[in-house]
Amino acid sequence: MQRCLAGGGVAVFPTDTVYGICCDAEDEQAARRLYALKGRPAARPAAVMFFALEPALQALSDLHDAERAALHALLPGAVTLLLPNRSARFAPACRTDPATLGLRVPLLPEGFAALRSLPRPVMQTSANLSGEPDARTLAEVPKSMLDGVDVALDGGELPGTPSTVLDLRDYADGGRWHVLREGALPAGAVGEILASL
């Protein structure tokens, strides 16, 4: 998969929630191809996924202490965190909202732990056509998408509930947060985790 992404390719892969589709997080041409395969509106942002927490913390060096503590508590896990993108990184993923970064660090199935060695983050979204149900198995990924990608990794049957989307853009200012989409991690569990910090 590393060679695929480094060469501008697009891949389907398993996460800790549903199947995803990804490309290099800095490659605008690959991002356009991914969006076309998914039928995703061009202005809609996608998440940036690191396959381990430490590289994410190193790359996002401008995180405030409170944000860094929240990442340590919540990741890796089935959450997508919206954070301030103070250095305007990863423009292909942020699209028309360069001030916001969507961050994912999945808790990968053991069979795919090798993905943690990928040297660069990916831009990713769920491997389904825009507005259609998420794919729990590789067979549920649309054929048009599978035919259009360069690599498809089969991770068997996944849990099937998408990540919880948690807005932490105001977290450094008084600990404010809210859940935009409840998914695999219940909102109550999010509250307990953040209250413990």
73-119 pLDDT tens trace: 999 999 999 999 999 999 999 999 999 999 999 998 778 878 888 88
3-class SS at 150?
coil
Distance CA 92, CA 53 (A): 21
Q: Does an H or E element contain 104, and which? A: strand 100-104
**Which residues fall within 8 angstroms of residue 53, CB to CB, at 6 or more apart?**
71, 72, 75, 76, 105
10-37 pLDDT tens trace: 999 999 999 999 999 999 999 999 999 9
**Is the bond preceding 92 in cis, omega lying within 30 degrees of 0?**
no
In the chain, domain spans: 2-195
pTM for this prediction: 0.95
Distance CA 115, CA 18 (A): 16
Domain at 2-195, CATH homologous superfamily: DHBP synthase (3.90.870.10)
Around 195, how many Cα atoms within 13 Å sit in the side-chain half-sphere? 6
